[in-house]
Amino acid sequence: MNEVFFILTPNYLALDHAGPAEAMRIAIDEGARLRLHTVGPAAECVSSLGLVSHVAPLPEKLPKHALLVLVGTVDEDRDYSTAPAQQLVAWLAQSVRADTRIACICSGALLAAMAGLLNGRRCTTHHALTSKLAALAPGARVEQDRIFVEDGPIATSAGITAGIDLALWLIEQQAGAALAARVARRMVVYARRDGTAAQLSPFMAHRNHLNPALHKAQDLIAADPAQHWTLSNLAERVHISERHLCRLFRTHTASSVVAYRQALQIEVARDRLALGATVETAAEAAGFGSARTLRRVWKQIVGGTPAKR
C-alpha cells in the first residue's frame, strides 16, 4: 500500500487539490493500492473558493516510499510568508526521507524550493512563476513551458489543470498504464499530455489581441484545421481583403495563415498519435493529405519525426 499525503496550506487553490486527488481516488476505485491522506500545518484551511478543509497534522515520521503532494496557493508572496507555510517548509527540510517522493502542483514547487529540495534538479511551475522559482532555487534548472518535469524522486507541474496530467503519470508509475488509461477515460481526459508538452497549446497561442476579424479567422481555422483554408476563402469569410488578413497575421501571430494552420494541424496529429493512431491515419485526420507531408511539416515545426507514443 502506497501512502499519499496531500499537503494543504491556508488559501490553497481548490483545483490544485481536487484535480489530482480525484484522479487518485478514481485510481483506488480502479484497483490501485493507494491510501490518501489530507494533512497540513494548520488544522483548518480555507481554499480559494472559500471551502473549509479540516486536515490532519503533518506526520511526525513519514512511512517508507510516501508520496507528498504539495498543493499551490492563490497569492504566493502573501500565503507562503505566513506562519503555517513557514512551518511546512521547516517540516519538509527535516522530514523528507531518501525514499520519499514529492509531487508539486503549480506554485507548490516554491515550497519545495524554500525547503532546499530542488537544488541540482530539473523542475518547472506555472509559466508566470518560473522567475520566482529560479530565484528561490538558484541551484535548480528551471524549465520553461513544460506541463510537468520529473527528476528523480521529485516531480513538478505547471499551473492548476496540469496537476491532473502529473497525477495520471504518477498513477501510471504506481499502478500501470492500463489502469491510468481507465482513470483518464473516466475523467474524460482522453489525450493525456506528457512532460514534454508545452503549457500553451497552439490553439490558445496568439489570441491576446483585440482584432475581431483576426479572432474570427483564427476561430474558423481552429474549428477545422484539416480543411484546406485558402487565403481567399478565409478573407471572404471574415469580410476583409487578403492583403489585410496577411498583415493581421504577421502583426499578431508573427506568421502566415499557412504557418498558423500548420501548427494547429500538427497539434491534431499529435493528439491522434497519442491515442495510438498510425502516422498515416494521423496525417489524414489533420488534413495533411499524406504521411510524407506530415513528416516534412513536423520536421520543420517540431523537429525529428512523428511516431506513435
Query: Residue 71: which CATH number?
Result: 3.40.50.880
pLDDT for 194: 58
Residue 156 CA: distances (Å) to CA of 78, 119, 197: 21, 13, 14
pLDDT for 309: 46
**CA separation for the pair 6, 29 (Å, rounded):** 18
Placement of cell 482513470 in the chain: 183
The residue range of the domain holding 255 is 201-309
Beta strands 44-46 and 52-54 are antiparallel
pLDDT for 198: 60
**Sign of the torsion formed by the C-alpha atoms of 131, 132, 138 and 143:** negative
pLDDT for 191: 46
Question: Which of 194, 185, 133 is closest to 165 using CA atoms?
Answer: 194
User: Does 262 lie in the same domain as 113?
Assistant: no
Tens digit of each residue's pLDDT, the chain (309 residues): 899 999 999 999 999 999 999 999 999 999 999 999 999 999 999 999 999 989 999 999 999 999 999 999 999 999 999 999 999 999 999 999 999 999 999 999 999 999 999 999 999 999 899 999 999 999 999 998 788 999 999 999 997 788 998 999 899 889 887 788 788 878 877 544 555 556 556 776 787 687 889 989 998 998 899 999 999 999 999 999 999 999 999 999 898 999 999 999 998 898 888 778 899 999 999 999 999 999 999 999 988 999 754
In this structure, the chain runs to a length of: 309
3-state secondary structure of 30: coil
User: Does 161 lie in the same domain as 20?
Assistant: yes
In this structure, the dihedral spanned by the alpha carbons of residues 124, 161, 25 and 40, taken in order and rounded to 10 degrees, is 60
Neighbours of 214 (CB within 10 A): 22
**CA separation for the pair 113, 95 (Å, rounded):** 15
Please state the pTM of the whole predicted model. 0.67
List Cβ neighbours of 238 (8 Å cut-off, separation of 6 or more): 213, 214, 216, 217, 220, 245
List Cβ neighbours of 150 (8 Å cut-off, separation of 6 or more): 169, 195
pLDDT for 178: 72
User: Does 230 lie in the same domain as 170?
Assistant: no
User: Does 205 lie in the same domain as 181?
Assistant: no
Question: What's the Rg (C-alpha) of the chain?
Answer: 22
Tally the C-alpha atoms within 13 A of residue 257's C-alpha that lie toward its C-beta: 24
H-only helix segments in the chain: 14-29, 76-79, 83-95, 108-114, 130-136, 162-175, 177-186, 212-223, 231-238, 242-253, 257-274, 279-286, 291-301
User: Does 159 lie in the same domain as 32?
Assistant: yes
CATH number where 283 lies: 1.10.10.60
3-state secondary structure of 64: coil
Domain count of the chain?
A: 2
Residue type at 112? Answer: A
User: Does 174 lie in the same domain as 215?
Assistant: no
